[in-house]
Amino acid sequence: MRNLVLAMSAFGMIASASAAAAQESESTNGTSFRGFRAEANVGGDRFQSQGVNNTKFGYGGTIGFDGQIGKRIVIGPEASFWRANNWNENCTPGATGGTICHKSFEEFGVGVRAGVLVSPNFLVFGKGGYVVNEQRKRFDAPAGQTGFYNNFNTTGYQLGGGVEYTLSSPEAKVPFYVGAQYVYSQYNDHTSRQRVMGTVGIRFK
Query: Can you give the pLDDT at residue 31?
Result: 77
12 vs 173, more confident: 173
pLDDT band at 57 (very low <50, low <70, confident <90, very high): very high
DSSP 191: -
Residue 24 or 111, more confident = 111
Between CA 97 and CA 140 the distance in angstroms is 9
CATH number at residue 92: 2.40.160.20
Residue 23, pLDDT above cutoff 80 = no
* Residue 86 domain boundaries: 2-204
Report whether pLDDT(53) > 60. yes
State residue 77's pLDDT score. 98
Query: What's the pLDDT score for residue 171?
Result: 72
Rounded Cα distance between 75 and 22, Å, is 7
The answer on pLDDT for 9 being more than 70 is no
List, as one string, the DSSP characters of 77-113.
EEEEEEEETT-EEEEEE-BTBSEEEEEEEEEEEEEEE
What is the rounded distance in angstroms from the CA atom of residue 186 to the CA atom of residue 166? 30
Does position 191 have pLDDT exceeding 70, yes or no? yes
Mean local confidence (pLDDT), 58-80: 96
Using an 8 Å Cβ cutoff, are 38 and 61 in contact?
yes
Does 4 score more than 50 pLDDT? no
Per DSSP bridges, beta strands 148-166 and 73-84 are unpaired
Q: What is the pLDDT of residue 183?
A: 98
Instruction: Tell me the pLDDT tens digit for each residue of 85-106.
Output: 999 999 999 888 899 999 999 9
Q: Is the pLDDT of residue 39 over 80?
A: yes
- How many independent structural domains does the chain possess? 1
Residue 174 confidence (pLDDT): 86
Residue 24, pLDDT above cutoff 80: no
pLDDT at res. 6? 47
